[in-house]
Amino acid sequence: MSKPPADTESIARNKRARHDYEILETFEAGLVLLGTEVKSLRAGKANLGDAYGVVKDGELWLLNLHIAPYEKGTAWNHEPTRTRKLLLHAAEIRRLIGAVERKGLTLVPLELRFRRGRAKVVLAVARGKKLHDKRADLKERAAARDVERALRGGRR
């Protein structure tokens, strides 16, 4: 993923997503949120670990995104893991629906952030990795680290 623009502030990242999934394409989508959810996000109280996207009636929804209840909220505080609607352009929604329904891919949130004061989620179209793929990635990373260490050690 490319470097985020200077006007963004990261709230939460899904660290397991790149380990468990092969990322094919990414999108940035808006979220429909309640006031107490925004305040809780500004305090950094979010968890993307179990979240995933689904297509329902031609719309995209984000399930299991945990936003902790706002500490100073009243009796009308939000439910922590409620289903939240994702906001994208119609052409992007059609592309995502096609990928998810025809190809059997998954919508995985990678990052939750504020961009110009609005809450956004970076959503990835992903394919699940098999165990041997995960092991191969770990081996590649370890080999690259060893090469880098050897090169650094030779310059001293």
**Segments forming the whole domain that contains residue 43:** 8-129
The structural domain count of the chain equals 1
> How confident is the model over 103-156, as pLDDT tens digits?
778 889 998 888 888 889 999 888 877 788 788 888 888 999 989 888 887 655
Report how far residue 17's alpha carbon sits from residue 48's, in angstroms, rounded to the nearest whole number: 10
Distance CA 140, CA 156 (A): 25
Query: Residues 6 or more apart from 130 whose CB is under 8 A from it?
Result: none
In a domain, 154, yes or no: no
CATH number at residue 42: 2.40.280.10
- Please return the burial class of 125, using the count of CB atoms within 10 Å of its CB with bins 0-12, 13-18 and 19+: buried
Residue 84 belongs to a domain: yes
Residue 33 lies in a domain: yes
Beta partners for residue 24, in sequence order: none
Cβ atoms of 101 and 53 within 8 Å: the answer is no
**Burial tier of 42 (Cβ tally within 10 Å: 0-12, 13-18, 19+):** middle
Interval 65-117: pLDDT, tens: 888 888 777 777 888 888 889 998 988 888 888 888 777 788 899 988 888 88
**Among 3-7, 40-44, 87-91, the least confident range:** 3-7
Could you tell me the pTM of the whole model? 0.74
**Distance in angstroms (rounded) separating the CA atoms of residues 29 and 121:** 5
Tell me if 69 is assigned to some domain.
yes
135 lies in a domain?
no
Give the least confident one: 27-36, 57-66, 72-81.
Answer: 72-81
30 domain residue, yes or no: yes
In a domain, 106, yes or no: yes
